[in-house]
Structure 1
Amino acid sequence: MSKLPTLHSPLLSALPGVKHAFFTRQGGASRGVYDSLNIGRGSKDEPTDVEENRRRVADWFGLMPDALNTCYQIHSAKAVAAEAPWGAYRPQADGVVTNWPSIACGALAADCAPVLLADAEARVVGACHAGWQGALGGIVAGTVEQMARLGANPARIVAAVGPCIGQASYEVGLEFLERFEGERPGSAKFFAPGQAVDKRQFDLPGFVLERLAEAGVAQAEWVGRDTCAEPDWFFSNRRAFKQGEPDYGRLVSAIMLT
């Protein structure tokens, strides 16, 4: 198996028959702004390097590369079930769940929140990509619902939010706050004052954790790592934009049944 730097959730690590990892940007084959473990097929990176990186991630799980199932992410509330390795197939969705062993459910991110979920008793796992649009639109509930269709009980599901942009790094305008309050009254608690009167700091991981609780998930945590603030460890869309970089890599987080 590949020895890649990985982060782990204590909650998920305690579950029998479940293997998971939040991968960093380290340990890959890509170069330049994609240095080095870029998993994004939608990036402008060399396709051969991306596929080599995906192979290394799959190998970490002891799987063939075609068993790392990730979606063509569209910031939606749609989650899909996988019954076999997808290979190059990428359904347009933002969550993938399975009750089949030896399939890794993966979510890509570069500031958005990756969420890994598992009901070890029912042997159902899932992963979803929760940016602010998806989190607001219902991707967390959509993923939990898909898991429930496979036999999972939301009350038994354990979840972890992976590395994502932290509140101190996530400055937004007042229109952002107004949209959240308009669609989900009470969301103002996730917006701290910014450095200017017309700015706020948004707590994405905190918001995602609340959406997990609303979906019936009783045990959930954030791993506590800010992608925008740690350039040696993580890719970041916002940091790349601020630095005038032409593109950015994508991190992957994944989970499987053993």
Structure 2
Amino acid sequence: MRIRRVITTREGGSSRPPFDSFNLGGRVGDDPAALAANQRKLADGIGLPEERLVWMEQIHGRTATIVDGPQPAPVEATDALVTAEPKLALIALTADCVPVLLGDPETGVVSAVHAGRVGARVGVLVAALKAMQEAGARLDRIEALLGPAACGECYEVPAEMQADVEKHLPGSACKTRKGTAGLDLRAGLWEQLAAAGIAKIGVDPRCTMESPELYSHRRDNGRTGRFAAVIWAEPEETE
């Protein structure tokens, strides 16, 4: 199987400020018509029918849900999707949280994970890996991509919160550019993946708070859109 991964930006869509312009988040207050146009454009852009896109009702939890086909609505109350179905695109929406895209190229089992501070702390990535194994993936074959997120130099938190997250997600504590307590969730998640036996881990280094082409909940005072991290598997072409 060939694993496909796409990270969108905020450019090239139909949404007006402050969601300009390629917002894909459905619960942020954007115009529904603009959102629908953006979702259609995403499907066209990745070359799949719109009904083959699977969305989540993300709640900052640790539930991972296995899906075996198109879904009539966003999958309720989950922060990770897993499938073994080819050409079924799984989507995580973020705007500072870490999107994690996981794929086993031999079986075609893929997962899209929404790993914010709370979800990462309570083990959503571990739950996704477990669900992938249940669907037929093998840990030593899984390839991971940690997508754009708030970087440790920008993500300032109270010292007590930092200590609590570090306890549950070792490697995430850091200092911000100002020298205050911070969190680097991607560093902690990288450690978690490595500890689970994932050998191939890529990182998109962009910081959402510093990159104007990406949405950032913190930078934009909570009034902003969401970009998408998308993953799906395609059968290898044969001659």
CA distance in 1, matches of 2:31, 2:69: 27
Cα shift at 1:180: 2.3
Cα shift at 1:181: 4.2
- CA deviation vs aligned residue, 1:125-148 (integer Å, no higher than 9, x gap): 111000111111111111111110
Q: Are 2:154 and 2:176, in contact at CA under 8 Å, matched by a contact in 1?
A: no
Q: Secondary structure at the match of 2:73?
A: coil
Q: Which amino acid aligns with 2:224?
A: Y
Report 1:178-193 matches (<5 A).
178-183=163-168, 186-187=170-171, 190-192=173-175
Counterpart pick for 2:191 among 206, 210, 234: 210
CA distance in 2, matches of 1:117, 1:147: 9
CA distance in 2, matches of 1:129, 1:182: 20
Q: Are 1:67 and 1:87, in contact at CA under 8 Å, matched by a contact in 2?
A: no
Q: Are 1:72 and 1:94, in contact at CA under 8 Å, matched by a contact in 2?
A: yes
CA distance in 1, matches of 2:35, 2:68: 24
- CA deviation vs aligned residue, 1:39-88 (integer Å, no higher than 9, x gap): 11111000111111111111122112222111100111111111111142
Q: Which residue in 2 is equivalent to 1:239?
A: 219
CA distance in 2, matches of 1:204, 1:124: 24
Q: Secondary structure at the match of 2:149?
A: coil
CA distance in 2, matches of 1:254, 1:193: 29
Q: Secondary structure at the match of 1:32?
A: coil
Q: Which residue in 1 is equivalent to 2:237?
A: none
Q: Secondary structure at the match of 2:157?
A: strand
Q: Which amino acid aligns with 2:48?
A: L
Q: Are 1:68 and 1:87, in contact at CA under 8 Å, matched by a contact in 2?
A: no
Q: Which amino acid aligns with 2:208?
A: T
Q: Which residue in 1 is equivalent to 2:48?
A: 63
Q: Secondary structure at the match of 1:108?
A: strand
CA distance in 2, matches of 1:204, 1:157: 20
Q: Which residue in 1 is equivalent to 2:201?
A: 220
Change (3 A) 1:106 1:193: closer
Q: TM-score, normalised by structure 2?
A: 0.92
Q: Are 2:145 and 2:201, in contact at CA under 8 Å, matched by a contact in 1?
A: yes
Question: Structure 1 vs Structure 2: percent identity of aligned residues?
Answer: 34
Q: TM-score, normalised by structure 1?
A: 0.86
Q: Are 1:194 and 1:200, in contact at CA under 8 Å, matched by a contact in 2?
A: no
CA distance in 2, matches of 1:107, 1:193: 26
Counterpart pick for 2:64 among 71, 79, 97: 79
Task: State the superposition RMSD in angstroms.
Answer: 1.6
Q: Which amino acid aligns with 1:192?
A: K
CA distance in 2, matches of 1:22, 1:38: 12
Query: What is the aligned length?
Result: 234
Q: Which residue in 1 is equivalent to 2:108?
A: 123
Q: Are 2:103 and 2:110, in contact at CA under 8 Å, matched by a contact in 1?
A: yes
Cα shift at 1:153: 0.3
Q: Which residue in 1 is equivalent to 2:148?
A: 163
CA distance in 1, matches of 2:105, 2:190: 20
Q: Are 1:163 and 1:225, in contact at CA under 8 Å, matched by a contact in 2?
A: yes
Structure 1 unmatched runs, 5+: 1-15
Q: Which amino acid aligns with 2:201?
A: A
Cα shift at 1:215: 2.6
Q: Which residue in 2 is equivalent to 1:229?
A: 210
Q: Are 1:105 and 1:127, in contact at CA under 8 Å, matched by a contact in 2?
A: yes
- CA deviation vs aligned residue, 1:159-191 (integer Å, no higher than 9, x gap): 00111111111111111122124445x54x632
Greater CA drift, 154-163 or 212-221: 212-221
